[in-house]
Chain A
């Protein structure tokens, strides 16, 4: 059974850097074809894809946020970490991590999400 869980601060100040961790079980990020992505959702708004890392350490970023994002993986800890620099109140959202397969690029299993508020 695949599960994912996001963790990180619930409140960050403007200009700070956000670090979120996705801890997963039921699969290995060293298995060919596997990926873990990050998606966010501002309150009452639509989903927005942020970044994804593949089993071979290939990384993809949303063009609009690429300069602010870094995604990394720690295969031994079954974790994926997303950092976002220069946080702004418009970045207030629920942040989800999700499992994906390279062959269909759909997000088949999602974490519960973690709400991050950006405010001074």
Chain B
């Protein structure tokens, strides 16, 4: 089973700053099957990025994804107040299983 480790656990930044969130896999992941989600308190997760770098419908272009193999990154270029939330990465692997990372909390500094 592929384990996804997200870092940092908590990221404290101010609006307007750039956020860089990391997702590291215990073994190589197909870039086609790496996704990122945003979750706000009391809400269901929302898909941001699929295929490691493709933005989902309606997602602002300040969100971008990159990476390959075992290292993937979600970047938010200029933080807006509504971006402060918890972010999860998720992969689908060769064993036909899905796993999520433990999440990164992005909080206002």
B90 CB–A CB distance under 8 Å:
yes
> What is the CA–CA distance of A110 and B98 in the complex, to the nearest angstrom?
16
Q: A104-B50, A106-B47, A107-B45 are in contact. Are A62 and B88 (CB under 8 A)?
A: no
How many B residues have CB within 8 A of the partner chain? 25
Cα A63 to Cα B2 in complex, Å, equals: 12
Asked whether any CB of chain B lies closer than 8 Å to the CB of A105, the reply is yes
Total chain A interface residues with beta-carbon distance under 8 A: 21
| Chain B 42-58 near chain A by CB (<8 Å), digits 1 or 0 | 00111100110000110
* A62–B97 touching, CB < 8 Å: yes
Instruction: Among B50, B92, B98, B103, point to the contact of A46 (Cβ < 8 A).
Output: B103
| B99–A49 touching, CB < 8 Å | yes
* Bound CA–CA A54/B51 (angstroms): 19
Contact B88 A63 (CB under 8 A): no
Residue in A closest to B48 when the chains form the complex, CB atoms = A106
Q: A46-B103, A52-B98, A60-B96 are in contact. Are A111 and B44 (CB under 8 A)?
A: yes
A90 to B47, CA, bound (A): 27
Tell me if B102 and A49 are in contact (CB < 8 A). Answer: no
